[in-house]
Structure 1
Amino acid sequence: VPVGEVPTLADLGKKEFQQDARTAFPFKGGETAALEHLQAYFWEKDLAKTYKKTRNELLGSDFSTKFSPWLANGCISPKKIYAELKNYEKRVKKNESTYWIYFELLWRDFFRLMGKKHGDSIFLLGGPKGKAKSSWKIDKELFTQWAKGETGIPFIDANMKEINATGFMSNRGRQNVASFLVHDLSLNWKLGAEFFESLLLDYDPCSNYCNWNYIAGVGSDPRENRVFNIVGQAQRYDHDGVFVKTWLPVLENLPTEKVHQPDAVPSFELEKYGIELGKNYPEPILDYH
């Protein structure tokens, strides 16, 4: 059946969408784009063999599979990806990286199973465990600073700037900003889950809410809490500071060893780099030393 002409956004009286040049993922919807990406990932770029090594990186389009938006929107099936993965293992290479791609597909199915098993409880404050913490609060000012990427903690702010501008955030980033909201700011985790729901290109109810359950310690994981040392994570996964400097250009002149904790740098030194805390970059909203 001929496809015919698909109307553009302009035809519908809308502005054409402009991708942020810094995006790690210039996503285009639809089955055709999904299949093109599948072909490129496994065969044209041969990225599957290095997935385990690169999966925690933060910048660029190739560090992770990026299948999730098409999966979430029904443009490609997990069975199709699995079949392509097994074909790749047969024809090219089977290693730890290809196993980890399979493992991530299993995690997706596991969260869907948890959604089926626990039903609406994954959306409730106490989660499947029914253990809401009395310390979780709703603080509009703190939440807004987190949501806008104005916490004064560069690694958090850079990740939040990214999701606001692109609808995408790396898995490493998602875990860190979620941990920060729940465990450092003591905010109601549902605020973060609902914010992600409103922005993520790859939003999936089970994956999103079960991951937030996991971070908050109310899911099916036997561990009570998943707490991240944000500065330690930043120094490990953005050791050269390039990710932070990409999304927070005001910090781009700071030396690498100082970029993740600008508040630890004397004000006279910050001035040399064009930074004034409280003016062009926020004071940290909590003491993170």
Structure 2
Amino acid sequence: MQKDKIENLVWFRNDLRTIDNTVLSEATNKGSKVFGVYCFDPKQFEIDAFGFKKTEKYRAKFLIETVENLKAQLSNHNIDLLVYHEHPEEIIPSICETYDVSNIYLQKEWTQEEIDVENAVKEKINNVSWHHIYNQFLYHPEDINFEIHQTPQVFTVFRKKLEKYITIRHESTIKKQSETNRIENETRIPTLTDLGFEDFETHTNSAFPFKGGETEALQRLEDYFFITKKLGFYKKTRNGLVGKDYSSKFSPWLANGSISARKIYWNVKHFEKEHYNNESTYWLIFELIWRDYFRYISLKHGNSIFKLDGILNKNYEWKTDQKLIDNWINGNTKSDFVNANMIELKETGWMSNRGRQNVASYFAKELQLDWRIGAAYFESLLLDYDVHSNYGNWMYVAGVGNDPRDRKFNAQLQAERYDSKGNYRNLWLQLSLF
């Protein structure tokens, strides 16, 4: 049975927020009826080519919490969110037909899997206008002062071209819809069991004890910036290993779009105006620029970021020794620092930036294993996995990306420097004794 005509459909993917969501802003400011859809795509929970589940239980739970919160936030604006545990190419064409959709608004993506899904949906839909909108950058691609194909191969050059010359756009806003915008919505958000997992409690030692969703992200921002003012010490503590406050911990919310880079940027600026600016306040913005950089690198190089030779076409002798891979995954290598970090990842879905650099370097440079296997494992386990940062960082560490120096981390020296008393290693290595 045909229902009311609803002109504008917002297809949510990794932009799961209502504040500073340009896609949602464009759709709600048109004056026509609008609703949203989110698909828990079964493909995202299948086993990948390297034998890992693409999305493991940690990110799955975080995603469920995020979508629950998104649905509630949208409801406050009289916008309904239809949620399905279905392939988008199966459900979205059906929705478009049922509601006589004229326009689909969505975040612009460019990596292969996302494009494949989009194309599969497009093949089954006629007479619909598609609106692809860049929605995940700090520096908007329309504002930068070079062509994307001229994106510098070195981060410092990229940063210096932008930070003093390009203005960051202000946050976009959305219009609250009238009550008549509501639609009948009997869809339900899947449970962990529906997605193939058993429920679990967050590990008591986790450095990321937070829940998913925009509300939780904004609470973290308020606490880290304005209540505890930990932002003012960020540069000094960001290489920490234990506890929730050594770093901002924004990355999981940024990864699925529960909070925008611009929202964080403008709150840093607000903090600087209200309190002070120092190296730490700048350094958080510096990290957001790194995040942008890997997006521009993937825009420039396309599928090369997934290739063994990377964007440099550098050929090394890579191995695929399963025993070495398993030892790395399970924290049974010769390095206790690597082991502690890998156990933390396995038990919590989280690892510090310092830890990631070390375990990735150990995997690629010490064990000389195919770096894509390590990247796929990170994709599976990490709460804050995003395709651009994950593959950009792994290429960088493996010597096939954007590091002109092709460095190798000495895990023992790193442990002595960042875990001199062994507190971090003791915290996680004791778990391997049981």
CA distance in 2, matches of 1:150, 1:50: 34
CA distance in 1, matches of 2:368, 2:276: 45
The residue type equivalent to 1:50 in the other structure is: F
Judging changes above 3 Å, is the alpha-carbon distance between structure 1 residues 12 and 119 closer, same or farther for their aligned structure 2 residues? closer
The residue type equivalent to 2:200 in the other structure is: F
Task: Indicate whether 1:158 and 2:311 are aligned.
Answer: no
The aligned residue for residue 66 of structure 2 is none
Judging changes above 3 Å, is the alpha-carbon distance between structure 1 residues 10 and 233 closer, same or farther for their aligned structure 2 residues? closer
Name which of 234, 248, 252 aligns with 2:415. 234
* Equivalent residues in 2 for 1:39-188, closer than 5 Å: 39-133=222-316, 135-188=317-370
TM-superposed CA distance for 1:17, in Å, is 2.9
CA distance in 1, matches of 2:309, 2:256: 28
CA distance in 1, matches of 2:190, 2:314: 48
CA distance in 1, matches of 2:414, 2:374: 20
The residue type equivalent to 1:54 in the other structure is: T
Name which of 207, 213, 218 aligns with 2:389. 207
TM-superposed CA distance for 1:12, in Å, is 6.2
Q: How many residues align?
A: 251
CA distance in 2, matches of 1:159, 1:63: 16
TM-score, normalisation: structure 1: 0.82
TM-score, normalisation: structure 2: 0.55
The aligned residue for residue 217 of structure 1 is 399
CA distance in 2, matches of 1:15, 1:191: 25
**What secondary structure does 2:372 align onto?**
helix
CA distance in 1, matches of 2:375, 2:193: 34
The structure with the largest alpha-carbon Rg is 2
CA distance in 2, matches of 1:213, 1:57: 24
The residue type equivalent to 1:170 in the other structure is: S
TM-superposed CA distance for 1:10, in Å, is 8.2
The aligned residue for residue 268 of structure 1 is none
TM-superposed CA distance for 1:44, in Å, is 1.1
The structure whose residues are more often helix, as a share, is 1
Relative to structure 2, which stretch is displaced further, 213-222 or 108-117? 213-222
What percentage of residue pairs aligned between the two structures are identical? 51
The aligned residue for residue 70 of structure 2 is none
The structure whose residues are more often strand, as a share, is 2
Judging changes above 3 Å, is the alpha-carbon distance between structure 1 residues 10 and 206 closer, same or farther for their aligned structure 2 residues? closer
Any stretches of 5+ residues in structure 1 without a counterpart? 252-279, 282-289
Paired residues of 1:9 and 1:15 also in contact (CA < 8 A): no
